[in-house]
Chain A
Amino acid sequence: MATLEIHDLHVSVEAENGAREILKGVDLTVKQGETHAIMGPNGSGKSTLAYSLAGHPKYTITGGTVTLDGEDVLEMSVDERARAGVFLAMQYPVEVPGVSVSNFLRTSATAVRGEAPKLRTWVKEVKEAMARLQMDPAFAERNVNEGFSGGEKKRHEILQLELLKPKIAILDETDSGLDVDALRIVSEGVNRVRESGEVGTLLITHYTRILRYIKPDFVHVFANGRIAESGGAELADQLEAEGYDKYVKGGATA
């Protein structure tokens, strides 16, 4: 069973006046089949955690370990991490002009699966996955994320999640900027992948809204670069009622 283990993770970014530490000792274990919601105020380091796990070059790991089934993730290049089974659905997916969605998806699936998917079954697989996410088939011929609306970008991210079937899915504020319909469609996509029982999900969000559609097993409150409190789904209800105030204040005096 796939397990992602994060232990005492410290991460810095280069700022104008030297390195600034953003993650200050994160401990978290995500197992296949589990869903962990990471919630926290803006600037608490949630997205930094997501991007650090995926290997974005902007972030420097200054301490701690991350392993996937015992393999050192931090030693891997960005593409190696993806092929090992780590998937990051981005908050702001990047436009890639000149590369069509269909070409991109196939190249990606070939890389992650280790061989090119058979053309006939692949076309069907993509078509069906797009239909489930209520994406227009014409989408396949558009350039990656170019001119996509916010909702289209998020559906496209979840389409990739469904096709690439990672061991660990990190969803970075996938709910941000979505209207209710889009949120429901995207959440259903995430749930289909979760129901396979083969993915460990790290759901990063500022709002509790998405948790009405995607039920987490664990909720972690992220504040000041580390996990401040962990609990079950009931912790989300508490955050809904009380907000992040007590964690922010705690962070300021820590």
Chain B
Amino acid sequence: MAEAQNIPVGSTTAGSIAVAAESTVATRMSAPPSFDVADFPIPHGREEEWRFTPLGRLRGLHDGTAAADGTMKAQIDAPEGVTVESVERGDERIGKAGTPVDRVAAQAFSSFAKATVVTVPKETVLTEPIRVALHGEGGTTFGHTVFDVKPFAEAIIVIDHTGDGVRAANVDILVGDGAKVTFVSVQDWDDTAVHTSQHNALLGRDATFKSVVVTFGGDLVRIHPRVRYAGPGGEAELLGVYFTDAGQHQEHRLLVTHDAPHCKSHVVYKGALQGQDAHAVWIGDVLIEKSAEGTDTYEMNRNLVLTDGARVDSVPNLEIETGEIVGAGHASATGRFDDEQLFYLQARGIPADEARRLVVRGFFAELVQQIGVDDIEERLIAKIEAELEASV
């Protein structure tokens, strides 16, 4: 079920499907999950979870030298019925959806001053999104946000990151039984920003969760979306779009842990890269535990390399501990927009810049349509056009 094709020079596309008695996803991490940063050794770069990340550009988030000296302007627009609280460390809702799995996430957890808890009451169906605008104004900040969507509620949540700064955060998304949540995280940072974030989603019985991760900006962005199931019947869809420019490092590491029966997960991440030393990393881990009978999962990563000098590392990994499943598969492919494609389109009268747009639009179109949040879709298309303008 693994496929790898059209791999340009300087890229790796590796895949594995393991039937393991013991989870290698867990064992290849350098330390077990913990809320305490001291439980994680300072990474040196050869650890499985750090081998693609340029540690020198993390501005001390990984080695304890980053101090909370920055400013992050936060604005939350919550529709009626939604409560927004600022809570102290120790609130029982914090960390309920998941535990930090690497040193930067634990650092964020150990360093945040106050957490924000946004609650959508039971059976409340929101017609407008909850919008969180985070605008970095320089320096280092740590954050923790909990979205607690109660049973049978429906909500769209958009976190929008802009500006400059160094940001390490954890985001918990509690999706109650039968609730429906679309969670969008946009990384539209200035090209100097550094951002690491672990997204922990915990899905209740028959809950529906859609995660949309959109990454354009930043010097280094490392997002870690994770999904677990608290009961049977949960459905998770994880979509991602990234556009990696010269010098940028954009890393998306996903883990879906199927630990309850009859749940679904569907992952599609697509990225375009252009420019010298543009580096995109995609790690897609899916773990089907013994208890997760009736699981249906598929994950896919596609990359489109537009110029020389860009690099993609794409690693899908599937571990299956039960044979009683509906389906499990993954695919990863990295293709190039090359001189021959350009020649072909030009030979049909299409100018070079238009040809490039045609290919990139086509590459992203289907995925963008699946987002289902109009203003995000429009902004995304405009952003893709702008990225292409900049390249021509």
B-contacting residues of A (Cβ < 8 Å)?
54-57, 77-79, 81-83, 87-88, 90, 93-100, 103-104, 107-108, 111-112, 143, 160, 164
A sample of 9 inter-chain contacts (CB < 8 A) reads A77-B352, A79-B351, A96-B341, A98-B360, A103-B358, A104-B348, A107-B358, A108-B350, A111-B354
Q: Are B344 and A90 in contact (CB under 8 A)?
A: yes
Query: Scoring B residues 344 to 388 as 1 if CB is less than 8 Å from chain A, else 0, what string do you get?
Result: 111111111010001111111100000000000000000000000
Complex Cα gap A77–B344 (Å): 13
- A107-B358, A108-B350, A111-B350 known; A56-B363 Cβ under 8 A: no
B69 lies within 8 A of chain A by Cβ: no
Beta-carbon contact of B350 and A79 below 8 Å: yes
Q: Is B48 an interface residue (CB 8 A)?
A: no
- A98–B348 contact, CB under 8 A? no
Quick one: closest B residue to A108, CB to CB?
B348
Instruction: Report whether over half of chain B's contact residues are helix, strand or loop; otherwise say mixed.
Output: helix
Flag if A111 contacts B347 (CB, 8 Å). Answer: no
A99-B343 contact in complex given A79-B352, A83-B349, A108-B349, C-beta closer than 8 Å: no
Extra contacts, 13 of them, besides A94-B340, A112-B349 (Cβ < 8 A), are A55-B347, A82-B350, A83-B349, A97-B362, A97-B363, A98-B360, A98-B362, A99-B362, A103-B358, A111-B348, A111-B349, A111-B350, A143-B362
Interface assignment of B175: CB less than 8 Å from any CB of chain A: no
B335 sits at the interface (CB 8 A)? yes
With a cutoff of 8 Å between Cβ atoms, the chain A residues found around residue B341 in the complex are 94-96
Using a CB–CB cutoff of 8 Å, the interface residues on chain B facing chain A are 304, 335, 339-341, 343-352, 354, 358-365
Question: Given A57-B339, A94-B341 in contact, is the A99-B358 Cβ separation under 8 Å?
Answer: yes
Q: Which B residues are CB-close (under 8 A) to A90?
A: 344, 347
B346 A77 Cβ-Cβ under 8 A: yes
CB neighbours (8 Å) of B351 from chain A are 77, 79, 111
Choice from B340, B349, B358 contacting A164 with Cβ under 8 Å: B349
Nearest Cβ in chain B — how far from A146, in angstroms? 10
Nearest neighbor of B351 in chain A, beta-carbon distance: A79
A-B CB pair tally, cutoff 8 Å? 81
Contact A88 B354 (CB under 8 A): no
Task: Give the chain A neighbours of B362 by CB distance below 8 A.
Answer: 96-100, 103, 143
Provide the bound-state CA to CA distance between A154 and B359, in Å. 21
A98 CA to B270 CA, complexed, in Å: 12
B363 and chain A: residue at smallest CB distance: A98
When distances are taken between beta carbons in the complex, the residues of chain A under 8 Å from B304 are 97-98
Measured CB to CB, the nearest residue on chain A to B355 is A79
A90 to B340 CA separation, bound complex (whole angstroms): 11
Residues of chain A within 8 A of B335, CB atoms compared:
97
Q: Give the distance in Å from the alpha carbon of A78 to the alpha carbon of B341 in the complex.
A: 12
Contacts of B349 in A (CB 8 A): 79, 82-83, 108, 111-112, 164
Contact among A55, A95, A100, A112 with B348 in the assembled complex (CB-CB below 8 Å): A112
Min Cβ gap B40→A in Å is: 40
* B358 with A88: CB separation less than 8 A: no
Q: Which residues of chain A have C-beta atoms less than 8 A from B345's C-beta?
A: 96, 104, 108
Q: Are A56 and B359 in contact (CB under 8 A)?
A: no
A164 and B345 alpha carbons, distance in the complex (Å): 13
Cβ-defined contact, B358 with A104, below 8 A: yes
Residues of A within 8 A of B350 (CB): 79, 82, 107-108, 111
| 7 A-B pairs with the lowest CB-CB distances in the bound complex, closest first | A98-B362, A111-B349, A78-B346, A98-B363, A82-B349, A108-B348, A112-B349
CA distance A64 to B66 in the complex (A): 66
- In the assembled complex, the CB of B59 is this many whole angstroms from the nearest CB of chain A, namely 36
Quick check: A78 and B347 within 8 Å, CB to CB? Answer: yes
B3 to chain A: closest CB distance in Å? Answer: 13
In the bound complex, do residue B344 and residue A98 qualify as a contact, i.e. CB atoms below 8 Å apart? no
Please indicate the chain A residues that have their CB under 8 angstroms from the CB of B343 in the complex. 54, 56-57, 78, 94
CA distance A199 to B341 in the complex (A): 26
